[in-house]
Amino acid sequence: MLHRPWCYVSKPAFSGAPLRNARNFKSRLKKKGLVRVRPERAGTLFFSEPNESAVVGAGPVVSGVAGRYATALFELALESNAVDAVKGDLDRFDDLIAESADLKRLVHSPIFTAEQQTRALAAVLDQAAIGGLAANFLKLVASNRRLFAVRDMIKAFRTLVAQHKGEVTAEVTVADKLTDKRLGEITAALNAVTGKDVQVDVKIDPTIIGGLVVKLGSRMVDSSLRTRLNVLRHAMKEVG
């Protein structure tokens, strides 16, 4: 099975939380609907899925399970004055997934148990020096058998951070990896067009052949060669 409604963990591997102590951290998670303690088993944590009533404030920008997890984390990070630190840690973890086939397999494969995922994940986080609230959250996601959706959760968290700061997020799809100079040029151009601070989320898609595709809110700007070829092909059919 990919998941269970309850995942039993006798001693969750939470460490390095930017809160005063573990009890305080668990209490905050409980209030957000991410964790529940059964009274008949005092001292034992039972993780539950966050629900709509438990993570209010998401608004229309995030939805689904990933959105609810992201909202719960964002509210905790906001209360702990750790939004930027958490975002930085999540961005690093997202980069690690993109770069490592082994980590992708750990995240997406259903053959690993929650315990195996949590143990392996803890080693990865320690090596990457990712700690605090972000590490606690990622371990919780693994314990809940939701690690396969973690990249969607990170994306939703970024959206919430951008909304909180009044930023605009642009999804830029390119055929090849961008240089820092090219990324800076694209970011500057988008800032000029929108008059706002634009956060660029870059995706690689070799099938676009060339150019780039920019999604800015509901607006799609496509300058890829594939699109131009398709337009030309349709035009030629109409002439024939």
**111 and 99 in a common domain:** yes
- 191 or 228, which is more confident? 191
Domain-embedded: residue 36: yes
pLDDT (mean) for 203-227 = 81
- DSSP code per residue over 178-206: PPHHHHHHHHHHHHHHHSS-EEEEEEE-G
pLDDT (mean) for 149-154 = 94
Domain-embedded: residue 2: no
The number of distinct structural domains making up the chain is 2
Question: How many residues in total does the chain contain?
Answer: 240
The reply to whether the predicted model has a pTM over 0.75 is no
By 3-state DSSP, what share of the chain in percent is helix, strand and coil, each rounded to 5? 55, 15, 30
**157 and 175 in a common domain:** no
- 143 or 4, which is more confident? 143
**Which residues, in sequence order, are bridge partners of residue 8?**
46
pLDDT tens string 97-112: 999 999 999 999 999 9
- 7 or 72, which is more confident? 72
pLDDT tens string 90-147: 999 999 999 999 999 999 999 999 999 999 999 999 999 999 999 999 999 999 999 9
Residue 106: give the domain boundaries.
Answer: 7-163
**206 and 181 in a common domain:** yes
pLDDT (mean) for 10-25 = 40
**218 and 171 in a common domain:** yes
**129 and 25 in a common domain:** yes
